Structures are given as C-alpha cells and as structure tokens.
Amino acid sequence: MKCYLGIDVGSISTNLALLDDSLEVLEWVYLRTMGQPIGAVKKGLKILSQKVDGCEIMGAATTGSARRLVGVMIDADLVKNEIIAHAVAAAHFHPGVKTIIEIGGQDSKIIILREGIVVDFAMNTVCAAGTGSFLDHQAARLGIPIEEFGQLALKSRTRTNIAGRCTVFAESDMVHKAQLGVSTEDILNGLCEAIVRNYLNNVGKGKDIEPPIVFQGGVAANVGVLRAFERELGVELLVPKYYHVMGAIGAAILAREETKGERTTFSGLEVKDMEFMTRCFECNGCPNRCEVIETLKEKKVIDRYGDRCGKWELL
C-alpha cells in the first residue's frame, strides 16, 4: 500500500501523519518537542514504524519552524511553510473553507482562502499571549488541568473582563479579580474572551473573516475559547477531527502531489536509528560574522545555512 508522510515540527509539538493513496489518515502521532526536534522526530518515526505494516512510503514532506532541519534529516521530497500546509489540510476536510483560525503552542495565525486559494494571511508577533503555552501556564497557576479549562469556562454566569494582550497583564488582572472574589469559572471565561479579542484585534485585524471558518491547532480543543470565538463572530466554527495535527496532514497531502506516488527521496523509517546532530560556528570572513549552522548525519555534514553570501552552502 502506498503511503505519504507529513511531519510538522513546532516549538511546542512535533506531529506526524501517515495518509494512504486516497488521502485517508492511517496513523498520526502527537508529541511534545521539548526543545529537541531531532529527538522528537526520531521518536515519532519509531512509534509510526510500530503501528504500520505493509505500507510503502512514497512521499514525505516537512513543515513547521524546524522544517528545514527535519527536511534534510529525512531527505524529504518537499519542505513547505506551515501556512500552505494548514490551508491544504483544512481545504481537504472542508472544501468550502474561507477562513482558518489556527492557534498553536507559541504562535497563532489566520489564513484567508477564496476558491481554495490562499489570498491573505497573518501571524502573531513576538508575543505568545493567547497561545497554547499561555493557556497552559495560566491553568497550572490556578491548579486546573488544562483538559478541564474549557468546560469550567462554560460554567461562567457573570461576565468579567481580563486583559489579554500581555501575559504579565493577564496574570495581574486574574490575581486582582480573584482577590475581589470573582469565581474561577468567571475568570477563566474572561480569559477565553480576552484571547479572542487579542486575536481578532491583532492577527485578524483588517482581515476579511468570512464563514465557513475552520478552527484548528491545539487550542481548538479548548471549548471555552471555541465558544468565545463563536459569540464574537456570530457564526459556528468548524473543528476538524484531526485539529491538532493538521499541519502534518497538509504536508502529507503536499508530498503526494509532489511525488504522485512514483518516486521519493525519503530515507525511510530507518532514520529513527541514525545519529544526527547540529553545531554552529561563526564565520570570520567578513564584518557580518554570520553564525553558520551545520547538520550532521552519521558524523557527515549534510546541510549548512545561516551565511549571507553563500560561502558555506553545500553544493
């Protein structure tokens, strides 16, 4: 059976998806990156190798913030940015989608599609307020399992305003409201609404947000944030079944389009047993003093990047 592999490596999570030739999801893996993208990918490939049988991977693609590193690591057929990967996956499950709201561990983005084509997009800036890690931190500070965050927010009966544009301000506001006797449910709901306001006033500012709207990324699991978006936008949002691994699914779909099931450069699942490492050095060739990053496979340099002039690029 022909299969296609997509790998999405972000700052918080590493996701893998394996699709068959008809683009049905066969298996998926969701792991915490933990600052070790190489280790996370190797672990993910090991898990996949134990789950699949009789599957010949005829295409592989990578996306996410570590897409280049992982791309050279597995000899991917395609390395694509996450905007395209998420758009392709959303359009696959919901062909008429016009707006994609994606909130992950440390970034959030909006993608505008018309007739299945990406016509506009935006991402959050350096601040991670309103993302998954932000919610994790607030839940931990309140002693609430993140899995219960959304359901507790839905129990709110009194609206309360929480500052959501900055993590520091949000925490200060939450402490202040708690000291005033505001219930935890109301504080959580206020935080959900603050996240939505922050998203729409920053990432979504000036964007033509039209339904159907697909909500994906890890934060889509938080029903409190989902309902806050629906109240603010006045429409029901669509949450895909595989909302948390859509980038990987999109990469797998792109891999199929790239290879058409005929020929692949993918090194195989045996990559999980190979030794990889990265190292960096500073070039003293000119005043730019570029920091050059090297990737090594079995102690052999397979990639270099970071120099501005191309001096250190591999042919």
Domain boundaries, the chain: 2-89+247-273, 96-239, 276-305
Which of 3, 100, 121, 12 lies closest to 58 in space, CA to CA?
A: 3
Average pLDDT over residues 283-312: 91
Supply φ then ψ for residue 75, to 5 degrees: 55, 55
pLDDT of residue 54: 81
Residue with tokens 């001096």: 311
The pLDDT-based confidence of 128 (bands split at 50, 70, 90) is low
What tokens were used for 195?
Answer: 């996240």
Token pair for residue 9?
A: 């490596």
Which pLDDT does position 125 carry in this prediction? 67
Task: Look up residue 150 and give its two tokens.
Answer: 């959304």
Backbone conformation region of residue 181, classed left if phi is above 0, alpha if psi is from -120 to 50, else beta:
left
Pairing relationship of beta strands 117-123 and 56-63 according to DSSP bridges: unpaired
DSSP for 121-137, please give it: EEE--S--TTSHHHHHH
Q: Which residue has the higher pLDDT, 315 or 231?
A: 231
CATH level 2 (architecture), domain 2-89+247-273: 2-Layer Sandwich (3.30)
CA distances to 32, 53, 81, 116, 237 from 63, rounded to whole Å, are 16, 25, 5, 20, 25
Q: What is the pLDDT of residues 12-67, one digit of tens each?
A: 899 999 999 999 999 999 999 988 999 999 999 999 999 887 889 999 999 998 99
**Low-confidence winner among 55-64, 142-151, 293-302 (lowest mean pLDDT):** 142-151
Write the class of the CATH domain 96-239: alpha beta
- Residue 127 predicted with pLDDT over 70: no
- Residue 17, SS3 per DSSP: strand
For residue 126, the model assigns a pLDDT of 61
Calculate what percentage of the chain has a pLDDT beyond 70: 97
196: its two tokens: 């939505």
Q: In this predicted model, what pLDDT tens digit does every residue of 179-234 receive, in sequence order?
A: 888 898 999 999 899 889 888 988 999 999 999 999 999 899 999 999 999 999 99
Token duo for residue 79: 């390395």
Whole-number average pLDDT of the chain: 91
Tokens linked to 105: 């561990």
Mark 145-163 as b/e (b = at least 16 C-beta within 10 Å): ebeebbebbeebeeebebb
Q: How many CA atoms lie within 13 A of 278 on its CB side?
A: 18
Q: Nearest 5°: phi and psi at 121?
A: -160, 165
Give the tens place of pLDDT for each residue, 83-112. 999 999 999 999 999 999 999 877 889 999
pLDDT recorded at residue 7: 98
Q: Residue 112 carries which side chain, given as an amino acid letter?
A: I
Q: Residue 163: which pLDDT band, with cuts at 50, 70 and 90?
A: confident
Nearest to 70, CA basis, from 56, 51, 85, 89: 85
CATH topology agreement for domains 2-89+247-273 and 96-239? yes
